[in-house]
Structures are given as C-alpha cells and as structure tokens.
Structure 1
Amino acid sequence: MSHILVHGSVKHRLQWDSPPEHLSFDPLLITLAEGLRETKHPYTFVSKEGFRELLLVRDAPEKAVPVLPRLIPVLKAALSHSDDDVFERGLNALVQLSVVVGPSLNDHLKHLLTSLFKRLRDKKFKEPITKALQKLEQHGGSECLIIIKAKIPTYCSICC
C-alpha cells in the first residue's frame, strides 16, 4: 500500500509515499472501499481516510467513473454489513463518491438503495440516510430522484 499512518497525539493522518493525485484508482480505491468493512483500528481509519483523500484529487472524476462497476459491489457489502459503524462508513463513502462522479452513479444506484431502505427502519439511521439520499439527489439530478423513489417510495425530494 502506498501510505502509512502517522500517529499524532490528537489527530491521525495518512502520509502517502506518492502524492494521491499520482496514484491509480484501480485497484487502490476499490481496496480502500473493501477496507470500509474492517472493524479494527488502524484499518478503519486508513480505509475511510484513504478513500476520502483519493476522491479529493483534482482528476478524481476521470479516475473514479471507470472503476464504478467494481466499486459498487464493495460499497454494497459495507452498506449491508450488520456492524453499524461499517454501515456508516459505507454511507459516508457513498455520499463522497456521489459528489465526485455525480450522475455517473445513477446507473449503479439501484444496487445500493435496498440496503439503505432496510436501515431506514432503524430510528438512529433515519436522519443520516435521508441526508445521504438528498446528497445523492443533489449530485445525481432528476434521474436520480426517479431511481430513489422507485426503491424508497417514502423519500421526499429536496426539490419539492
């Protein structure tokens, strides 16, 4: 892996061997997404922070869109996980991804929404999931709203 964890007294951070903008998203972004299912530190931190930092690079959209077909099943596994923290990391990663790839995520969304719909029954996830769906709609556009409503009929659009 091309990073190490630097332990600070208060804040941890990743120190990359190569700048993240020079790294290939295939397979690194997928590997980091697989790590979202980890439950032990430092793996949880490395996967979450590494995923976030890769998606912040300038050419992230061009690098992320081609790996979506391989990334979606991995995100679905995190969103379907029984561990609440793993689910939350998956949900955050999904939102971060939607910001970067926008409507390109729409074709893959139906594979992820069932997991979100199931968790909506849990009161503690109602608000985070609703906010995530709003972000997905915001970045995915009107087509995204149609896809969300088909899988989660109770969702209320932010545009209304």
Structure 2
Amino acid sequence: MSQAPQSDIKMRPKHPIFVETGSCFDTTNTRHIKVRPGGHEALPKKDLDVSAFSFSKKTERKTPEKFMRRHTGQGGTLCPPPKDDTPPEFPDENVTPTKSGQNKVDFPAFMERPNPPNTEFRRFYERGDLPVQIEHGSCQNKVAWKVAIERLDFQHYLPIFFDGLREVEMPYAFLSEQGVYDMMQVGSSKIVPVIPQLIIPIKTALNTRDRSVVAKVLKVLQALVKCDQEQNLVGQALVPYYRQILPVLNIFIRKNENLGDRIDYGQRKRNNLGGLIMETLEAFETHGGKDAFINIKYFVPVYESVIIR
C-alpha cells in the first residue's frame, strides 16, 4: 500500500497574539509578564559619586584633546565671562541630549513607571467571573450589573475593581472605574471594613506615575471619603494609611499648568494634577477627623489647613 506524498510546506506552530482588545475571544498572557507594576528597575541611573561616602575621589587621565590650548583662556585678562541668559527649566523638563541622540531625564521622580496589563480585574473579567458588562447607550455607556449591588460581597469584589484603576485599555478602564463609583454609591456602609484591602491597589496605581492614572485615582479617593458624609468613617479609616498614599501626592503637588492670560477650556475635565491633589488633601482633612491635618502636614509640608479653628 503506497503512502500519501508528503507536502513540502512545513507546518510551523502559530504563536498566539494577544491583542488585548477586550473581546471575549482575546485573553492576556499574564504568565509571561515579569515586570513589577510601579517598579523603578528600568529607570536611568546616574554614576555613583564615591566622594560622597569616603575621602576618595574619582579621577580621570586627561587626553591631549582635553588640555587647554594656547590663547584660549581668560586668566589675567579684563574680559568678563559670557553671561548665560537662558531661563531656568523645571525639573521634569530638564532633558539633556546624549551621544546616541536620545534624551535622558535628569529627574526620574516624575517619570512614568511600568504598568503591565496583569491586574486582577483583567484576569477575573477575561475569565468571566465578574457580574458586569457594558450597556451601550445612545449618549454614553453604562455598566450593566447582572446581580444587585447590595447582594455583592464587597470584601471580594471591591479590591478587584480598585486594582483595575491602573488599567488604560478599554473596556477594563471603563468597567473598573464606573464599577467603583456604583459600588460606593449603593453600598457606602459596607466600605469601612474593606479599607485595609484597598490600600495596596491604590498605592500600586499611584506608583505608576502615569498622569492619567494618578488623576483617575485622585477622583476616586475624593468620592471614597465623601461616600458617607454623615459619619465620616471612611475618611477616618484612611488616616493610618497616609504613609502609603501621600508620598506620590507630595511629588506632583506643584504640577499646575501656568497658561498666563489664556483660558483653559478643558478645566471641566479636571485633569490638572496639582489642583486635583489639593482638592484631595482638602477632602482628606475635612472628612478625616481631628488627626487628619497633622498626618497630612507630615507627608506634604506645603499643605495648609482649610478648616477654621
């Protein structure tokens, strides 16, 4: 019996492409993501100054090109040195070009940190374990809950939705943010026992240093401390965790856009980071009780109280 002729076409295994579009047919390959969210391992590092820790001094042998040439110095002459009239630059705008042509930022505190797509919200949503879906409307989209929000286990679902706040892709970013607002609006009395589980997702989202993510988290924090204005238990429960939340706010508190005599037509979007941080700190002090101001002042020294004492 003769065998079938073999084809000359080699069968190569097709590598999966994870486009992360949010479709039910797409999944995120989180097993190959090794980057820590908010990590600073990939940031540019400056050379170590050995004279800062010892009496040693780093020296370098000069080459003939580095010696001063004849008739090029100003020693013993009456010619004043040229005056530099260039205006000073802000820290995040102080960029120096390198030999390779790339720009190197001298102040990495304002740089964006890694934000890999490996959130718990994405994993649970792609697995079909979250009772939410998008309801497409004529004017705007809404979150359609498959279960009544009052019947949800807040200690299980609320930290998952808070972990999705650092998402920047759709539909994860929209579902996580709107889901947090819906849960805070309906079940404000169930949030206080869940506060300790929300700190790590909030801290991770702030440590990404992404301006859009930080602005989103600040708006959520303002709504979080105002969700129970009668007792202010949520604001008082956040006071012991200012050590994890406020350091990043202290870095970006001066990020105010100076437009001069122009008009900011996008002010309604509330994207000005400095203004959002001041609004958040004022909400923390107003709803945080008597110990809120001294703790805010410890981590953000430039903040002044807004409560008349």
Identity %: 32
| Equivalent residue in structure 2 for 1:79, among 192, 197, 206 | 206
1:47 and 2:176 aligned: yes
CA distance in 2, matches of 1:45, 1:25: 19
SS at match of 2:289: helix
- Per-residue displacement from partner, 1:116-154 (whole Å, max 9, x unpaired)? 111113224111100111111111122111110111111
CA distance in 1, matches of 2:297, 2:290: 11
| Equivalent residue in structure 1 for 2:194, among 55, 67, 80 | 67
- The aligned counterpart of 1:109 is 242
- Per-residue displacement from partner, 1:42-87 (whole Å, max 9, x unpaired)? 1111111100110111x423x2122211211111111222321111
1:24 and 2:153 aligned: yes
Structure 1 segments, 4+ long, off by >6 Å, are none
SS at match of 2:226: helix
Indicate conservation of the 8 Å contact 2:282/2:306, yes or no. yes
CA distance in 1, matches of 2:243, 2:223: 17
1:140 and 2:273 aligned: no
Shift of 1:95: 1.5
Shift of 1:6: 0.7
Kindly indicate which of the two structures has a greater share of residues assigned to helix: 1
CA distance in 1, matches of 2:283, 2:183: 19
Shift of 1:156: 1.2
SS at match of 1:39: coil
In structure 1, stretches of 5+ residues that fail to align are: none
- Per-residue displacement from partner, 1:8-33 (whole Å, max 9, x unpaired)? 13211011111111111122111111
SS at match of 2:199: helix
SS at match of 2:301: coil
CA distance in 1, matches of 2:191, 2:240: 14
CA distance in 2, matches of 1:60, 1:159: 25
- The aligned counterpart of 1:118 is 251
**More RCO (CA 8 Å, sep 6+):** 1
How many matched pairs?
158
**Which structure has the larger Rg?**
2
In structure 2, stretches of 5+ residues that fail to align are: 1-129, 228-233, 257-271
Indicate conservation of the 8 Å contact 1:78/1:89, yes or no. no
CA distance in 2, matches of 1:154, 1:26: 35
TM-score by length of 1: 0.92
CA distance in 1, matches of 2:211, 2:222: 17
- The aligned counterpart of 1:151 is 299
One-letter code of the match for 1:15?
Answer: A
Greater displacement, 22-31 / 98-107: 98-107
- The aligned counterpart of 2:164 is 35
One-letter code of the match for 1:21?
Answer: E
- Per-residue displacement from partner, 1:71-117 (whole Å, max 9, x unpaired)? 11111111222321111111112112212312111111221000111
TM-score by length of 2: 0.49
